[in-house]
Amino acid sequence: MSERSGGPRHHRGRLSRERVLAAALALVDREGLSALSMRRLAAELGVEAMALYRYTPGKDALLDGLVEAFHRELQEALEEERPEVAERGPGNVAAAGWRSDLHRTARETYRVSLRHPQVVPLLATRMLAVPLSRLPPSVLRTQERMLALLARAGLDDHRTQLLYRAVTAWVLGYAFVELRTVVNNPNEPEPAIRLGLHRMPAQEFPLLRATAPALAERAGEQALTDGLDALLDGFAAGT
């Protein structure tokens, strides 16, 4: 079906899959996943909803497209040529070689996650719903890149596969914990009420209550790479 004459599409150029996914990503960033529908996305692009089916055949495919766009942005960031300063943690030596590249992959994944927090849950749910061979090429390239980095660690195939599982779980799990909602009432100046600690019985959840203030603050990239190093050191030591 043709576009609406005089609509926003006229000013934004011809439709393409990249343009459709970019508009979907911008909508979700702005209003959340609940706002995403084929009809709403079509309105954002100034076209009839049927015009989108050439580029994404339905809502599930559109969700997969958001994951595709996330990984494409990650790949573009990783392909940029720029020197990375080796980071040091307390008692750790500077990262070098493959480990430095792995640090960078973890940091860029974290940064893209912070830019698109509404898409992060899809990294889990759509991966569970879609077979490996049917994942978008940008997702497969991310996984291929990770395996290539870990292969440079000099481990045998079995331990490389185990490390791949562990590193993937750590990086994505870290993003999930960093982005989860902890603050109950952001406009409340009193910390306990702001965090909603009164909703958590002290005798039943003493550790969560004590930890909640720290969880409300992002730990950042250094904690991400420190944890990654601890994981890598454990595998290097054979533990």
- Please give the CATH number for the structural domain made up of 70-236: 1.10.357.10
Residue 82 has pLDDT above 60, yes or no: no
In this prediction, residues 84-102 reach a mean pLDDT of 57
pLDDT category of residue 85 using cuts at 50, 70 and 90: very low
In this prediction, residues 165-190 reach a mean pLDDT of 92
The larger pLDDT score, comparing residue 46 to residue 12, is at 46
pLDDT of residue 8: 42
Residue 96 has pLDDT above 70, yes or no: no
- Please give the CATH number for the structural domain made up of 1-57: 1.10.10.60
* 204-238 pLDDT per residue, tens: 999 999 999 999 999 999 999 999 999 999 887 77
pLDDT of residue 93: 38
Nearest to 64, CA basis, from 108, 20, 30: 20
Amino acid type, 34: S
In this prediction, residues 185-195 reach a mean pLDDT of 89
Q: Is the dihedral of CA 123, 125, 126, 129 positive or negative?
A: positive
In three state form, how does the secondary structure of 159-197 look?
HHHHHHHHHHHHHHHHHHHHHCCCCCCCCCCCHHHHHCH
> What is the rounded distance in angstroms from the CA atom of residue 154 to the CA atom of residue 159?
10
* 107-117 pLDDT per residue, tens: 999 999 999 99
Residue 86 has pLDDT above 60, yes or no: no
pLDDT of residue 89: 42
pLDDT of residue 121: 94
In this prediction, residues 166-193 reach a mean pLDDT of 92
* 4-13 pLDDT per residue, tens: 433 344 345 5
CA distances from 134 to 28, 61, 90, 119, 137 (A): 23, 11, 42, 19, 9
Residue 178 has pLDDT above 50, yes or no: yes
The structural domains of the chain, with segments of one domain joined by +, span: 1-57, 70-236
In this prediction, residues 152-172 reach a mean pLDDT of 92
